[in-house]
Amino acid sequence: MCKKLFFSGSLLLFTIITHAQFDISIIGGIHKSTITPAFLKYPDTSISKGKIASTGIQLGFNAEIPIKGKFYFRPGVIYSTKGSQWNQMYDTTNLVAKTKNLKPYDKNRIKPYSLDTKLHLAYIEMPLNLMFKTNIGAKTKFLIAAGPQLSLFYNGYTDVNKLSVSQDSLPASEVKTYFTDEKNTDLPIGKLSGRYRTLHFGANALAGVDFGRIYLTVNYTKDLTEFYEEGGRNYKAGTLGACVGIYLGQSGKGSVQAKTTKK
C-alpha cells in the first residue's frame, strides 16, 4: 500500500509540474554510506571490531521549476543503495561470561571467533529541495540546494559470515573450526521491532557547479527517522558522495513546457 501511495504521489507531482516551464535531468553518482549505531550481529560483545567502507550508487532524475529570480523548486526520484559492513573478533575464553542472548548450545559447545556482518539496502527516494542558482561565469553557474527527503524501501539483504571454534573439556583435545554463511534476502517489513520501515524520512543537501548541459554536485543525506529498530537501538543512515547530471533539454530555458492552445 505504501509503495502504491509513493509511486502515485510521484506520478501526481510530475503531472502537476508539466503545467509549468521546467528543466529535467538524469543523474548518476556514488557515495559512501554510514549506519548508526553500528549494525552488528552481537553488539558490544567483541574484543575488537573494524568497519569496512561501504559504497553505494544513486540513479534517477530531477526537475528544476523556477520559483522567482534565482530560486527553484527541485524535486527528484532517485534509486539509491546504502549499507554497512563490520568485522568482529572475539576472545573465546571469556565469551560465555561476556555475551548475552547466546543460545545454550553456542555457550557450551561452539563459540564465535570472528563475525562479518553485512547490510545492503536499496531505496526509491524523493528529495524535495529548494535550490539557489547564480552565475559565476559566462556559461557557469553555482548551485546549492537543501530540503526534506522521503525514502521508500525497495529491497535489501543481510549477510553474516561466522567462523566458530569448539573444544571438548579436556585441555589437550583438538580445537575444531566451523564456518557458516547466513544470508537473508527476504527482510521483514513493518513498524514493529526487528522489521525494516517501508517509509522513513530524512534531509538532504547538495552544492555544485552547472556548466550548461552538465552539472556536478557534492551530496549529503541524513535520516531523521529510523529505518530499523531492534533491542532499543534506532538505526539511521547517512551518505556523502558526488553526482553528475545531464539535462535532457536546454538547461535554464525550460526544456519541458506545457502545451497551450491558441484561440
Task: Write out pLDDT tens, residues 11-23.
Answer: 555 555 555 577 8
Let me know if residue 74 belongs to a domain. Answer: yes
More reliable by pLDDT, 27 or 92: 27
Q: What are phi and psi of 193, to 5 degrees?
A: -60, 140
What's the average model confidence in pLDDT over 187-216? 95
Let me know if residue 45 belongs to a domain. Answer: yes
What's the average model confidence in pLDDT over 130-147? 94
Q: How confident is the model at residue 56 (pLDDT cuts 50, 70, 90)?
A: very high
CA 56 and chain centroid, separation: 8
Task: Measure the CA–CA gap between 135 and 180, rounded to whole angstroms.
Answer: 57
Ranges 100-114, 150-164, 167-181: which has the least confidence: 100-114
Let me know if residue 107 belongs to a domain. Answer: yes
Let me know if residue 54 belongs to a domain. Answer: yes
Q: How confident is the model at residue 163 (pLDDT cuts 50, 70, 90)?
A: confident
Let me know if residue 94 belongs to a domain. Answer: yes
CB 89 within 8 A of CB 49: yes
- Position 245 pLDDT exceeds 90: yes
What's the average model confidence in pLDDT over 248-254? 60
Task: Measure the CA–CA gap between 237 and 181, rounded to whole angstroms.
Answer: 25
Sign of CA dihedral 147, 151, 157, 162: positive
Report the pLDDT value the prediction gives residue 263, as an integer from 0 to 100.
40
Let me know if residue 254 belongs to a domain. Answer: no
Number of domains in the chain: 1
Let me know if residue 201 belongs to a domain. Answer: yes
Let me know if residue 252 belongs to a domain. Answer: no
Q: List, as one string, the DSSP characters of 180-222.
A: EEEEE-S--BSSSTTSB-SEEEEEEEEEEEE-SSEEEEEEEEE
Burial 244-253 (b: 16+ CB within 10 A, else e): ebebeeebee
Burial class (CB in 10 A: 0-12, 13-18, 19+), 11: exposed
Non-local (6+) Cβ contacts of 72 within 8 A are 64, 65, 66, 130, 131, 132, 133
- Return the top range by mean pLDDT from 9-18, 26-35, 89-98, 249-258: 26-35
Q: What is the DSSP letter of 253?
A: S
- What is the extent of the structural domain holding 150? 2-247
Report the pLDDT value the prediction gives residue 187, as an integer from 0 to 100.
95
- Position 127 pLDDT exceeds 60: yes
